[in-house]
Amino acid sequence: MTAVKKILDRALTAVCVVLFAALVIDVSWQVFARQVLGSPSGWSEELAKYLFIWLGLFSAALVFGERGHVAMDVVVRRLPRTAQLVLAVVVQLTILTFTGLALLWGGFLVSQLAWNQNLTGLPVTVGPLYLALPISGALIAFYTLFHLVQILTGAERPVADAEPELV
């Protein structure tokens, strides 16, 4: 499972870099067309919106893979190890539940509803663009299950390592 995670981390990092580069190029073109050519590009704004959404969702999945999401763990760090373990399992199961309901199931439903809906600025339909939701949901679910197993087997600490505290 660790080997799969490493491969997925690398692939997801590459996808995020490509999406970010495409977003920079697209927005640069949009500014150039508007300011220099005096003719704003209608399709570039639409593309930038969807590139930004995909980048945000895939980057969020990558952060979940690193256990780098925002956590208020000041109180949790002071709890006994057993309580930290129970709380870590509850948190991972809560993330998995939300991911399953909102991103996987909800994302699939919204993608199906909009599958044939046309975009005004791009020659594609909206449905495939909404697939970012269930795809990122599947990635987050994998990472959550990975960390849950790691926590339960003792390979990871219940509370993710953070910046060292100043004493």
Rounded to whole angstroms, the Cα distance separating 105 from 99 reads 8
CA distance 69 to 160: 10
pLDDT, residue 162, reads 60
Residue 159 maps to a domain:
no
* Containing structural domain, residue 91: 2-153
Q: What pLDDT does 68 receive? A: 85
- Please report whether residue 143 resides in a domain: yes
Q: Does residue 122 form part of some domain?
A: yes
Partners of 125 in the β-ladder: 118
How confident is the model at residue 163, as a pLDDT? 57
pLDDT score recorded for residue 150: 95
In a domain, 73, yes or no: yes
Do the domain assignments include residue 90? yes
pLDDT tens per residue across all 167 residues of the chain: 889 999 999 999 999 999 999 999 999 999 999 999 998 888 999 999 999 999 999 999 999 999 888 777 888 889 999 999 999 999 999 999 999 999 999 999 999 999 999 888 888 899 999 999 999 999 999 999 999 999 999 999 888 776 545 45
**Overall domain count for the chain:** 1
